[in-house]
Amino acid sequence: MTDILPLLTVSIAALGGLAMLTAAALAGWRGWLDLQRSGLAHAHDMPPPTTAGARIELADLRERIRKLEAIAAGIDL
């Protein structure tokens, strides 16, 4: 019986340490999930970039770039 007592003590201490490590990892995982959920919630609050106004503005910028490239190449429009 005296040979089993140190082994049992070490085993219980290791199991307790593993339980604490698991609890800390679980708390960290839940915190990371909450962070990701809040990030997704904020992403849904932003307007989509494919609105009609955004497309018109993008077309205008493309036209300006085309004109600037033509000026740089020496072609009059």
Report pLDDT digits (tens) over 14-59.
999 999 999 999 999 999 999 998 887 776 666 666 678 888 888 8
What is the rounded CA–CA span in Å between residue 75 and residue 56? 25
What pLDDT is recorded for position 43? 67
Sign (positive or negative) of CA dihedral 22, 23, 25, 30:
positive
What pLDDT is recorded for position 29? 95
Q: pTM of the full predicted structure?
A: 0.50
What is the rounded CA–CA span in Å between residue 45 and residue 39? 10
What pLDDT is recorded for position 77? 58
